[in-house]
Amino acid sequence: MRGRAGVAVLMMAATPMSPAEPTPDPGWTIIPGERIGPVTPATGEADLIELLGRESVTRDWIYLAEGFCSPGTRVFPGTADELAITWRDEQRSAPATVRISKQGARWTTPDGVRMGTNLNELEEIRGEPIVFGGFGWDYGGGTWWGTPTDEGGGGVITLRLAPTPESARPQGPRAREIYGEGEVRSNHPVVREMTIVVVGISQSWGNPWRDVECPT
């Protein structure tokens, strides 16, 4: 479970609350491997409260995958710019994962990737077909974005791709080829008939210090 948590991009719904306004401006740039806005590998929860204000930082259970959650923190809860953070330690001094999951979020990479970027745009930026995980399971639609470091994946983020609600479910004998745990290429003929966009962005710097079955 822990080894796959950094790929998951789904989050639990937060307890209803009044949306916090993103003030002051935290900087909306994502640098793969380095930061998502104000959150770096060395940013603690206390740092975020000092920078953004207590009203913009709340504690909550963060969904990982396969029914497991971790105690975490939400930045700008209830807004399109919400970040869901899990921690590498109980003291919340070092983030494990940071996730974006709401359309309309202002976070963006220097090359223009953000929530809602479509598959054709990703291909244009990268200059080649995109390889991603098949749809229909917790880790479906995942693909790396960025430049891996010599040590591994430290210079990348994970994008989660999914068909838009308006995109018709594929039919025909080859439709099953884009579902399940195998890899799918963006030039697959079934994929070409669909509108697929970024529905999640996540950064991983390690495993959450704790994962448990999600509270009911």
DSSP character string of 33-59: TTEETTB-TT--HHHHHHHH-GGGEEE
Hey, where are the domains in the chain?
2-100+204-213, 119-202
Per-residue pLDDT tens over the stretch 168-182:
778 788 999 999 999
Q: Please tell me the predicted confidence (pLDDT) of residue 22.
A: 45
More confident position, 101 or 139: 101
- The rounded percent of the chain whose pLDDT value lies above 90 is 75
Is 77 in contact with 19 (CB distance < 8 Å)?
A: yes
- 3-state secondary structure at position 122: helix
Is the link from the previous residue into 24 a cis peptide, with omega within 30 of 0?
Answer: yes
Q: Please tell me the predicted confidence (pLDDT) of residue 24.
A: 52
More confident position, 12 or 55: 55
**Whole-Å CA distances, 210 to 69, 90, 140:** 8, 8, 23
Per-residue pLDDT tens over the stretch 46-84:
999 999 999 999 999 999 998 999 999 999 999 999 999
Q: Please tell me the predicted confidence (pLDDT) of residue 137.
A: 87
Q: Please tell me the predicted confidence (pLDDT) of residue 119.
A: 97
Judge whether residue 184 has pLDDT over 90: yes
- 3-state secondary structure at position 176: helix
List Cβ neighbours of 170 (8 Å cut-off, separation of 6 or more). 178, 190, 193, 194
List Cβ neighbours of 203 (8 Å cut-off, separation of 6 or more). 30, 32, 33, 36, 39, 97, 98, 99, 157, 158
Q: Please tell me the predicted confidence (pLDDT) of residue 166.
A: 86
Helices (H), strands (E): how many in the chain?
3, 12
The amino acid at 140: G
Judge whether residue 161 has pLDDT over 90: yes
Per-residue pLDDT tens over the stretch 100-136:
999 999 999 999 999 999 999 999 999 999 999 999 8
Q: Kindly report the pTM of this predicted structure.
A: 0.85
**Whole-Å CA distances, 132 to 62, 94, 122, 128:** 24, 29, 12, 13
